[in-house]
Amino acid sequence: MKLTINGERRDLDAATVAEALAALDMGEARVATALNGDFVPASARAQTALSPGDALEIVAPMQGG
């Protein structure tokens, strides 16, 4: 499925947010996700279906002021 992940166009074999994270090798990472601008809690990733063209953001804590 064609998705935009962290601003990059990717072709990923994933039907849900959880599957996308696993496909990106981030299944175990401490990250947070938002789909098309809306927060997807970790507990909802397995039930949150992806559609072609979706924009998935995957973030982690970083340096900040």
Partner 1 sequence: MPLFYGTEIASPLMLGTAQYPSPAILADAFRASSAGIATVSLRREAGGGQDFLRLVEGLGAAILPNTAGCHSVKEAVTTAQMARELLGTDWIKLEVIGHSDLLSPDVIALVEAAAELTAQGFKVFPYCTEDLSVAERLLRAGCEVLMPWGAPIGSGLGLNNPHGLRALRAAFPEVPLVVDAGIGRPSHAASAMELGFDAVLLNTAVARAGDPVAMARAMAQAAEAGRAACLADPIEPREMAAPSTPVIGKAFLQ
**How many other β-carbons are positioned within 10 Å of the β-carbon of residue 24?**
17
Stretch that binds partner 1, among 10-18, 45-53, 54-62 (CB under 8 A): 54-62
Binding segment for partner 1 among 9-17, 34-42, 45-53 (CB under 8 A)? 34-42
3-state secondary structure of 8: strand
* Three-state DSSP class for residue 17: helix
Contacts of partner 1 in 11-30 (CB under 8 A): 26, 29-30
Q: Is residue 33 a contact partner of residue 58, using CB atoms and an 8 Å limit?
A: yes
Site of interaction with partner 1 (CB under 8 A): 6-7, 26, 29-34, 37-39, 41-42, 57-65
